[in-house]
Amino acid sequence: MPKVVSVVGYHNSGKTTLIERLIPELQKLGLRVGYIKHDPKGHGITEKEGSDTDRIFKLSERVALLSPSKLTLWEKREDDPLKVVEEYFYDCHVVILEGWKSLKGVKRIVVGSLDVEGLRVEDLQDMKSVLDYILED
């Protein structure tokens, strides 16, 4: 099972910016990194209304769009990121979750003033302490 860390914070607090800096740093260490973003309100655009995949997803539990350079998968399931990590990201060394501030059993990196436990990141200059926190047992 990969190391899993959740980056949490309020909207526009800098979570994605931090993750964009973390992934290349982890990759420089030779690690394979996965990423899962939380969409608690279901606003993420999966496919245009009325498209083939949209119409079929209304009928099937799992639909995929395979393009020459990527696979996009839609699946109806419960909101359990650790099951998704186990099923689809098992070959990664680290999986970064963006969101899931209430998820138990994972390390949290807290960006901004959100009142939850975890490593607080105020200044993105000290990436070494963030990397150390992610990689420690």
Same domain, 91 and 124: yes
Same domain, 59 and 113: no
Domain count, the chain: 2
Instruction: Return the pLDDT at 67.
Output: 87
Confirm if 100 and 38 have CB atoms less than 8 A apart.
Answer: yes
Please give the structure tokens belonging to residue 118: 């975890």
The number of CA neighbours under 13 Å toward the Cβ of 93 is 14
Same domain, 47 and 59: yes
Running DSSP on this structure, what letter comes out for residue 40? T
- Dihedral over alpha carbons 81, 107, 105, 13 (to 10 degrees): -60
Same domain, 34 and 85: yes
Which domain, by its residues, includes 36?
A: 3-40+79-135
Same domain, 99 and 130: yes
pLDDT digits (tens, 9 = 90+) for 85-97: 999 999 999 999 9
Instruction: Return the pLDDT at 44.
Output: 65
Please give the structure tokens belonging to residue 32: 């394979």
Domain harbouring 26, CATH code: 3.40.50.300
pTM of the predicted model as reported, rounded to 2 decimal places: 0.88
Same domain, 26 and 92: yes
The number of CA neighbours under 13 Å toward the Cβ of 1 is 11
How many whole angstroms separate alpha carbon 86 and alpha carbon 37? 16
Provide the 10 A C-beta neighbour count for residue 75. Answer: 13
pLDDT digits (tens, 9 = 90+) for 14-46: 999 999 999 999 999 999 999 998 887 766 666
Running DSSP on this structure, what letter comes out for residue 49? T
Same domain, 50 and 116: no
Same domain, 125 and 62: no
